[in-house]
Amino acid sequence: MNRIAQIFETLDYGPAPESPDPALAWLDSHGRKFGHFIDGKWTKPGETFSSDNPATGESLAQVTNGTPEEVDKAVKAARAAFKSWSALSGYERGRYLYAIARAIQKHARLFAVLESLDNGKPIRESRDLDIPLVARHFYHHAGWAQHVAREFPGHVPYGVCGQIIPWNFPLLMLAWKIAPALAAGNTVILKPAEFTSLTALLFAEICERIGLPKGVVNIVTGMGETGQAIVAHEGIDKIAFTGSTEVGKAIRAATAGTGKGLSLELGGKSPYLVFEDADIDSAIEGLVDAIWFNQGQVCCAGSRLLIQESIEERFIAKLKKRMATLRVGDPLDKAIDIGALVAPVQVERIRDLMKRGVKEGALVYEPDGDPLPERGCFLRPALVTNVSPANTLVEEEIFGPVLVAMSFRTPEEAVALANNTRYGLAATIWSENINLALDIAPRIKAGVVWINGTNNFDAAVGFGGYKESGFGREGGREGMAVYLKPSWEKTLAAASSSAAPAKAGAQKSNPLDSDVLDQTAKMYIGGKQARPDSGYSRGVFAPDGKLIGEVGEGNRKDIRNAVEAARAALGWGTTAAHTRAQVLYFLAENLDYRRDEFARRIKAQTGKDGEAEVAASIERLFAFAAWADKYDGAVHNPPLRAVAAAMVEPIGVMAIVAPEEQPLLGSVALLAPALAMGNPIVLVPSQAAPLSITDLYQVLETSDVPSGVVNIVTGDAVTLAKTLAEHDGVDAMWFFGSPEASAMVEKASAGNVKQTWTSRSRAIDLFDKEKFEGDYWLAKATQIKNVWIPYGA
């Protein structure tokens, strides 16, 4: 071997340590013991717990375990600060956010070192990714503060926001939460994860030093119970949570019926698809980033590798070779690829999951490599093969450096496998064929799709999940929207009960009394009239108590059939927007032909002249037909050689339980936006006055609405709502009803993290065009997928 070849063979890494001293000196300056940061001041440390360095097991500092009383104090401080903070001009608020961004940049190294010490992530990542993105987030949102009033007219901040974050990107998650909240004019109480409170405390000191008004940002440290106290506090207007799906569901249930705003960024099991025409070397480098970045403790980690069968063997062989070069060790060494996991309990959890997977038949490959450090939370990178889709390691979020590989034969199979998960956070596609990649991207149910790249993030591009990965977005315009609400919504009164028709669908005591009529209006499921499974019907009465008709008494089987029919009609979402618009225009025109008949029917059920309601319903259908091809996305230009296409997609199957009053408009005003955006629907019309909608199916049939796109189930609204809210085949639900029933719907929706909207008896006047003919419902009928597409050579 010649000398040069020999040097390359024997070349090794020298140590490249980053000094922990400045970070330790900062901890020393606080006596290594912290209270909370409330109302611009540091509280005295209370009962504390240790924040440890996971690479050594040594304690870094003592952090206070926040009590409900301390949470209350923080909420009061945030409430007191809200009035003046929200009254500042956008420009003035923006100046504070710029000041925070600059201070973070100025102290970037200190933040990076402290983050790596506390969390165990390689300094290379905290220095080059986490902290720069934190600064970018505050800069970007300083700009939003300035323009929020212009860009979101008629909107106001929620008020006091409770924010709870996990330990995997401690400061970055803080930035994703605090920057948009403050830009919108909210004040916040943030609880960092118990393992990683330190950079949040350093951030508090930054807020103090730049002179942020007191009470605008409050940092309360603590454990899960402190989070629970924040969630339960009555003085909080909105909860924003990032963490596990399990805790997210608990928070959904705990906030049910409270009227608190909620956004959830939850777990994932994201697919990483490699097609046979991919640039394999690039795909392997991408994969290293997808699954071994931050030790795999990334919610959007590409943890499920799906490779096309024709290249599987070659790809796996190359991957193993690459894995053998990954260096595991001291997070403060600049030449380390994989640092420490956050805590011993996580290491144990991952080992347990691996044992279960192996028992179920999985094969695990771990490269030999250098010996792992003797102490600390270290694991080697692992590749798992020989698994079926039901293997624990394929289904569960591992949250560690473990990649699970499976193969597929065709693009159809790839999409089916990719979507075969309860999560929907992210996906990666590798293919040199742009047609193929752009065909697959919209078919994957995930909030972010990266093409020929992975783990790209930017403050201008929304991030968040589909399905059980949560709802709401962080970053960009969508991220701002979750911290704002229409000003009218904040002051809505409860509805007066006189609005409801006189005899709300009361059941006759003797069922035979109803046989004065010879016809029961059928339900409408899968494009066909359907008799109720129960075999029972219920009377519909005029205000004077006279029986004027009968409808089916729907039950859970009818709902099941309707949801099944709606799922079979999901193709409505990929029908061209122009076509959907035409169908809605046609529907409006056909309703117009029967204007008088529908008006008479309304009068018969409510005693009120129905003409205005029919006219408003026709106009509403026109309005949303007009929206169908106009409420669309954006193309973002992040600071990378990529564009991010923000695509507006339907949510999926929507359940709509219409209000009692306004038998026609009450349903049409909700159907129209949901249909325009491509969602198939299960509709429960007004319980008291359902005949306007059972008449409507004849209009639907003559208007080219495809079978299954609108399904109508009549009956007891609250009973049917419960079944719909519990149904995993329903993706979103709008419910009109009492506060108690609204709480029930929200609680039951936690099962599959449905997106819900409930009326809680508030006085919602659907006649109001100003409020309800625009994006209010459109935004609630859609979710945004960001597809990152690289460009340039």
Residues that bind ligand NDP (CB under 6 A): 164-168, 191, 193-194, 223-224, 227-228, 231, 242-244, 247, 250-251, 265-268, 299, 397, 399, 425
Whichever of 340 and 724 has its CB closer to ligand NDP, that residue is 340
Whichever of 338 and 753 has its CB closer to ligand NDP, that residue is 753
Backbone angles phi, psi at 305, to 5 degrees: -80, 125
Q: Of 70, 125, 194, 265, which one is the catalytic site residue?
A: 265
Whichever of 399 and 624 has its CB closer to ligand NDP, that residue is 399
Residue 556's closest CA among 681, 722, 679, 732?
722
Whichever of 103 and 172 has its CB closer to ligand NDP, that residue is 172
Q: Which two tokens stand for residue 244?
A: 């596990």
Q: Which DSSP state fits 733?
A: E
Backbone angles phi, psi at 642, to 5 degrees: -160, 155
How far apart (Å, rounded) are the C-alpha atoms in residues 188 and 162? 6
Between the alpha carbon of residue 336 and those of residues 15, 18, 53, the distances in Å are: 10, 11, 17
Yes or no: say if 178 and 217 are a contact pair by the CB < 8 Å rule: yes
Residue of this chain nearest to ligand NDP (CB atom): 227
Query: C-beta of 605: minimal distance to ligand NDP in Å?
Result: 45
Query: C-beta of 342: minimal distance to ligand NDP in Å?
Result: 8
Torsion over CA: 688, 694, 696, 697 (sign): positive
Alpha helices in 293-388 (DSSP H): 312-323, 344-359
Pairing of strands 642-650, 634-636: antiparallel
Query: C-beta of 35: minimal distance to ligand NDP in Å?
Result: 17
For tokens 């192996």, the residue is 358
Query: C-beta of 240: minimal distance to ligand NDP in Å?
Result: 11
Backbone angles phi, psi at 737, to 5 degrees: 175, -170
Q: Is 194 an active-site residue?
A: no
Query: C-beta of 224: minimal distance to ligand NDP in Å?
Result: 3
How far apart (Å, rounded) are the C-alpha atoms in residues 439 and 359? 37
Alpha helices in 11-89 (DSSP H): 21-29, 68-87
How far apart (Å, rounded) are the C-alpha atoms in residues 313 and 333? 34
Helix 131-151 and helix 108-119, axial crossing angle in degrees, nearest 10: 110
Whichever of 100 and 251 has its CB closer to ligand NDP, that residue is 251
Query: C-beta of 259: minimal distance to ligand NDP in Å?
Result: 18
Query: C-beta of 752: minimal distance to ligand NDP in Å?
Result: 16
Whichever of 64 and 590 has its CB closer to ligand NDP, that residue is 64
Whichever of 178 and 299 has its CB closer to ligand NDP, that residue is 299
Instruction: Please report the DSSP string for 542-592 in residue order.
Output: -TTS-EEEEEE---HHHHHHHHHHHHHTGGGGGS-HHHHHHHHHHHHHHHH
Query: C-beta of 353: minimal distance to ligand NDP in Å?
Result: 12
Between the alpha carbon of residue 718 and those of residues 625, 739, 756, the distances in Å are: 30, 12, 15
Whichever of 69 and 313 has its CB closer to ligand NDP, that residue is 69
Pairing of strands 238-242, 261-265: parallel
Residue 618 CA, chain-centre distance (Å), reads 34
Q: Which residues are annotated as catalytic?
A: 265
